[in-house]
Amino acid sequence: MKEKAIVQGFSDNLGARNRKGTIWYVLFQASTVIGILALIALVLNIINGAFGYVAYEARVDPDTLAVDGIPLTDQSKEQLVALLQSTLSSGAYTKLENDKPFAERSREEVYQLIVERIIRPEVVQVWNLWPSLTQADEIRATLASEHPDAELDFISWLSKDFVTRPQTSEAFTAGVRTAIFGSLWTILFTILLAFPIGVGAAIYLEEYASDNRFNRIIQTNINNLAGVPSIIYGILGLAIFVRTLEPLTSGEIFGLVDPTTASGRTVLSAGLTLGLLVLPIIIINAQEAIRAVPRSLRNASFGVGATKWQTVWSHVLPNAMPGILTGTILAISRAIGETAPLVVVGASTAISFDPNSPFSKFTTLPIQIYQWTSRPQDEFRSLAAASILVLLVLLLTLNASAVLLRNRFSRRY
Amino acid sequence: MAGLSLEKTLEKKASVSRLRRQPRWGETIIQSLLFFSGFFSIFTTLGIVYELGKEALLFFQMPEVNLIDIFTKTKWQPHTGEFGIWPLFTATMMTTTIAMLIAIPLGMAVAIYLSEYAKPRVRTTLKPILEVLAGIPTIVYGYFALTFMTPLLREVFGRDLVQIYNTASAGLVMGILILPLITSMTEDALSAVPRSLREAAYGMGATKLEVALQIVVPAALSGIAAAIIVGISRAIGETMIVAVAAGAGPNLTLNPFEGAETLTGHIVRISGGDLSYDSIDYNSIFALGLFLFIVTLTLNIISQAIVRRFREVYE
């Protein structure tokens, strides 16, 4: 009798407790779903912006530019240059010649100039992918009544041309080649600074440093640096690389000053700034990789009479390398996506020529995205979406190679 | 006999001395290079403190600036010489608060789900997805805030109420950005709680929820607290989302649907153009940067201290 009462006491509110459990379980699961939905919304939103209908009006009809019945698209470079010379004011023409002599420009570049300066297609309105797919008829109807002269095209802002064209101020001819090269140049110097020093620091901390106060300070300092907001690194880069080390970062002491810059706001400064930013990440990852190499390997090496460095170089590093490289790739993908420090260091707003030396002015993909996103016109938002896709593909490739590297070479002891 | 053994001893001594440690210059050079690499990060920290401190000091010495005004005035307008930090500070607090209102409950719920409820297969598919979320550059979140969240808010709350640039949109998207950070740190803390604790609770007749909320979460509280503090520090230092979506121009307001400029957003906008050295704008970003650095560093140190101090160690 008594036992039964106790059992009943136990199970009295069991139903309520279980119900509560179910409710919370649903809440937990819903939160997870919300997180995933956010990711999906993010991706769909970008795709939505990167494709769709565009209505535009040419300020000069290309048909009127035909010479002797040859349409503009088939004319030779010389004809195109002549056209530019006759149409533009002499001041504007001379400026173009000074930027880059026409003799050095390809036909393709000259054609771009004509589209940009003479035909000047003007965007009337831009639609995202979703309305373009669902309300195509309405779009046509409103356009026909409001802008009868405008042409309507379904375009993909992300295209082969978009990736290979330099940056311009006109939405139709703008591309991200300048920005891609800027990113690559910047990352090169980031790696050159951060990889050797980062791996060296990790080796020092894991293999050489004794557990004393000083080395603990170094370790704590690295952990703290990893948490410093990236914009602080930008300010540091501005003060040290751009300003204090200006003779070095502008190429002055090598006599290599880019005539258009003559300041420290160069690829080199940007790369070094990002190098400082990712250094703690590389160190922490490399430390983990080195720590995972078993003691026995080192002892075996010491046992046959190898010195400390021989042991590290021939046994520890080769075994830790996949882990170190994976960590480095992750750090690089962080650096490629960084925007704020580069804005502070002084990325250029409009350059249309690829960087060709460490002392060139620079723009990078994220900077380009930032500038296009900040402009109020819809067509530039679409360009931003297209360049985000380029950036994400680049990052995805990097991350996939990191995962592959980890799976391919990871060893278990 | 005796002579022979003496000879042998001498020979032995010679071979021992050959084995004795000899100076190896190559090793020493390499070791000092490695030491330099290890020490390099200290230079970075010293560089930050020195440069920020130096320029910030110049800022405070400028005739337009005085310390009392900074904390009492309500306008930050470098051009008219008004430097009151409140508008920047409140904007940062607003975006951070909104972000944490999203990130803390969601992040903890996801972490509890992953650690306590999800089957191993579900966990191994979900975790990489969250990592992807964490790996997306912040400028992409900025684009998302401006082209998705803002129109959504304007649709829901009305176009008259919600401005094109507003802190709510930036804060909400920042919450999504910080969610994976809080999730992964919390989940690490939860999975470090030993199985035996859970089994004991089940043995007493606890339901799954009771085990999760009354046993596992309290046991992992130090790790969770650390995750939240790191999240706050990340939110305060986050730049591109607010630079794109929160608005340009310091504005003292507590209305999340109005535009306002945070500390970080202001630094980015001011330094966007070609900033001339030793101007008041140039010096002011160092002062703001120093403030930002001190706040985030303090938060990070607190978080590490919590982990060290209150970590439960299980055998």
| B306 and B226 Cβ atoms separated by less than 8 Å | yes
Q: Who among B34, B139, B277 is closest to A204 (CB)? A: B34
**Predicted local distance difference test score (pLDDT) of residue B314:** 67
Given an 8 Å threshold on Cβ–Cβ distance, is B209 in contact with A25? yes
pLDDT confidence of residue B11 = 63
Both A231 and A380 in one domain: the answer is: yes
Judge whether A45 lies within some domain.
no
Q: Is A264's Cβ below 8 Å from some Cβ in B? A: no
Distance from CA of B1 to the nearest CA of A (A): 35
Q: Does A274 have pLDDT greater than 70? A: yes
User: Mean pLDDT for chain A?
Assistant: 85
Interface contact A289, partner B, CB < 8 A: no
B86-101 mean pLDDT: 93
Residues A315, A366 share a domain: yes
Total structural domains within chain A: 2
* Parent domain of A144: 51-155
Mean pLDDT is lowest, of A3-7, A15-19, A372-376, for A3-7
Q: Give the rounded percent of residues in chain B with a pLDDT score beyond 70.
A: 91
- How confident is residue B1, by pLDDT bands cut at 50, 70 and 90? very low
User: A220: which chain B residues are within 8 Å (Cβ-Cβ)?
Assistant: 304
A359: phi then psi, degrees, rounded to nearest 5: -105, 20
Q: Examine residue A1 and state whether it is found in any structural domain, yes or no.
A: no
Residues A93 and A216 in one domain: no
Does A324 share its domain with A182?
A: yes
Residues A232 and A307 in one domain: yes
Q: Does A187 lie in the same domain as A147?
A: no
Which CATH architecture describes the domain B92-193+221-310? Orthogonal Bundle (1.10)
B200-228: buried (b, 16+ CB within 10 Å) or exposed (e) per residue? ebeeeebbbbbbbbebbbebbebbbbbbb
Lowest-pLDDT range of A110-114, A314-318, A325-329, B279-283: A110-114
**A163 domain-assigned:** no
Cβ distance B203 to B212 under 8 Å? no
Residues present in chain A in total = 413
**Minimum-distance CB partner of A236 among B47, B133, B143:** B47
pTM of the complete model beyond 0.90: no
Of A222, A308, A388, the CB nearest to B41: A222
> What confidence score (pLDDT) does residue A80 get?
80
For residue A211, give the 3-state DSSP assignment.
Answer: coil
pLDDT tens readout for residues A51-81: 888 888 877 777 777 777 777 777 788 788 8
A190 and A111 within one domain? no
Terminal Cα distance for chain A, rounded: 60
Chain B nearest C-alpha distance from A148 (Å):
29
For residue A257, the model assigns a pLDDT of 64
CA nearest to B109 within chain A = A28
CA distance A236 to chain B (A): 6
Q: Token pair for residue A100? A: 């880059």
Q: Are residues A132 and A200 in the same domain?
A: no
pLDDT in tens, B27-81: 889 999 999 999 999 999 999 999 999 989 988 888 777 777 778 777 887 777 7
Same domain, A131 and A253: no
Greater confidence, A409 or A49?
Answer: A49
Q: Provide the shortest C-alpha distance from residue A370 to chain B (in Å).
A: 7
DSSP result, A85-135: HHHS-HHHHHHHHHHS-GGGS-HHHHHHHHIIIII-EEEEEE--HHHHHH-
Q: What is the residue-averaged pLDDT of chain B?
A: 87
Token pair for A1: 């009798």
- The pLDDT of B180-204, averaged and rounded, is 92
What number of other Cβ atoms are within 10 A of residue A193's Cβ? Answer: 20
Helices (H) and strands (E) in chain A, counts: 19, 3
Query: Is B129 within 8 Å of A39 when comparing Cβ atoms?
Result: yes
SS (H, E, C) A234-301: HHHHHHHHHHHCHHHHCCHHHCCCCCCCCCCCCHHHHHHHHHHHHHHHHHHHHHHHHHCCCHHHHHHH
CB proximity A147 to B under 8 Å? no
- Is A31 an interface residue toward B (CB < 8 Å)? yes
Is residue A314 a part of any domain in this protein?
yes
Helix residue ranges, H only, B192-311: 195-203, 208-210, 217-219, 221-237, 240-245, 263-272, 280-310
Q: From the list B38, B138, B239, which residue is nearest A201 (CB)?
A: B38
Residue B242's pLDDT is what?
Answer: 93
**What is the domain partition of chain B in residue ranges?**
92-193+221-310
B114: chain A residues, CB-CB within 8 Å: 32
Contacts of A53 (CB under 8 A, 6+ apart): A126, A127, A131, A132, A136, A139, A152, A153, A154, A155
Least confident of A101-115, A228-242, B237-251: A101-115
In this structure, the answer to whether residues A124 and A273 fall within a common structural domain is no
B14 falls in which pLDDT band (50, 70, 90)? low
- The SS3 assignment for B75 reads coil
Residue contacts between A and B (CB atoms, under 8 Å): 257
pLDDT band at A412 (very low <50, low <70, confident <90, very high): low
CA distance A209 to B31: 10
- Residues B116-161 pLDDT 10s: 999 999 988 888 888 888 889 999 999 999 999 999 999 999 888 8
**CB-CB: which of A49, A227, A279 is closest to B296?**
A227
Tell me the two tokens of residue A295: 């003691």
Q: Average of pLDDT values for A127-147?
A: 83
Separation in Å, CA of B25 to nearest CA in chain A:
12
Q: Which CATH number goes with the domain that contains A279? A: 1.10.3720.10
DSSP for residue B313 = P
Q: Would you call A347 exposed, middle or buried from its count of C-beta atoms within 10 A (0-12, 13-18, 19+)?
A: buried
Query: Cα-flanking dihedrals φ and ψ of residue A226, to 5°?
Result: -65, -20
Identify the helix (H) or strand (E) that includes residue B47: helix B25-61
d(Cα B283, Cα B276) in Å, to the nearest integer?
Answer: 10
| CB contact at 8 A, A62 and A89 | no
pLDDT in tens, A202-261: 999 999 988 889 999 999 999 999 999 999 999 999 999 988 888 888 777 777 665 555
